């Protein structure tokens, strides 16, 4: 059923006030977010979103030239919200392991939000037909989040606490270790973790990551297989 909320009232000149225009744009993005995350990218048309928002199609086209532009606006607002909630600051006394645990907990808390899970489902379902969606997510802000981890790892490599390597690859592997299990469970591929299990998963991921990235001690054959 279409939402019949009227469009933002206009002044006598026929032009909306600045605040009214901003409120209307925010309301349309609210509706578009719900539509894309619930119905998918392909099934959400400009026409259906306009109907749900109770506005004319021309109102949407006046602000976003096409569906990809509207979807990008949805992504940008989601990413802005997620990136605004930064991980707790770590002090020098925390040490690398504690810093990575705090970072991993924060990443996982964001990734398991309902909207984040819905976006993940959307990407899995539709990236084959619309490969550009992955790049749109990256440009909308996902790359900035990864960049924070890259910067942390670069600093640790420079200080000699991690083996020098490609920090981008290391950051990607860190994210896989932290996210894959809990995210799959939250998507229904197994029983969801409770808080204690999720924290144990975080600590195990950080330990495994550091075991692979810390400098190796001399005199120990790390390549020896265990029978």
Residue at 225 is within a domain: no
pLDDT digits (tens, 9 = 90+) for 14-57: 566 878 888 899 999 999 999 999 999 999 999 999 999 999 99
Pair (160, 129) in one structural domain = yes
Domain around 170? 87-213
Pair (105, 157) in one structural domain = yes
Pair (126, 185) in one structural domain = yes
Q: Report the C-alpha gap between 149 and 65 in whole angstroms.
A: 34
Pair (49, 113) in one structural domain = no
Query: Which run of H or E residues covers position 215?
Result: none
Pair (153, 112) in one structural domain = yes
Residue at 7 is within a domain: no
pLDDT value of residue 146: 85
pLDDT value of residue 86: 62
Looking up residue 207, the CATH number of its domain turns out to be 1.10.357.10
Residue at 9 is within a domain: no
Pair (46, 123) in one structural domain = no
Q: Among the residues of the chain, which ranges form H helices? A: 18-39, 46-53, 57-61, 67-84, 95-111, 114-126, 132-137, 143-158, 167-186, 195-213
Residue at 25 is within a domain: yes
Residue at 13 is within a domain: no
When divided into structural domains, the chain yields a total of: 2
pTM for the whole structure: 0.75
Residue at 10 is within a domain: no
pLDDT digits (tens, 9 = 90+) for 139-169: 777 788 788 889 989 999 998 889 999 999 9
């Amino acid at each position: 059923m279409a939402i019949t909320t009227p469009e933002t009232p206009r002044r006598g000149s026929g032009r909306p006030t600045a605040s009214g225009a901003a409120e209307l744009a925010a309301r349309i993005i609210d509706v578009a977010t719900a539509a894309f995350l619930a119905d998918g990218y392909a099934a959400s048309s400009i026409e259906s979103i306009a109907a749900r928002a109770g506005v004319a199609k021309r109102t949407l086209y006046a602000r976003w030239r096409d569906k990809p532009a509207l979807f990008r606006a949805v992504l940008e607002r989601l990413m802005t919200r997620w990136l605004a909630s930064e991980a707790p600051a770590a002090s020098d006394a925390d040490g690398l392991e504690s810093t990575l645990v705090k970072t991993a907990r924060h990443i996982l808390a964001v990734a398991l939000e309902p909207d984040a899970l819905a976006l993940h489902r959307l990407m899995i379902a539709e990236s084959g037909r619309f490969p550009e969606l992955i790049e749109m997510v990256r440009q909308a802000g996902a790359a900035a989040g990864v960049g924070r981890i890259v910067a942390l790892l670069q600093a640790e490599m420079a200080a000699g606490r991690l083996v020098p390597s490609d920090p981008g690859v290391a950051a990607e592997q860190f994210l896989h270790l932290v996210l894959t299990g809990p995210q799959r469970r939250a998507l229904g591929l197994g029983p969801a973790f409770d808080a204690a299990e999720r924290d144990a998963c975080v600590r195990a991921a950080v330990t495994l990551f550091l075991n692979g990235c810390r400098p190796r001690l001399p005199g120990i054959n790390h390549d020896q297989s265990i029978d």
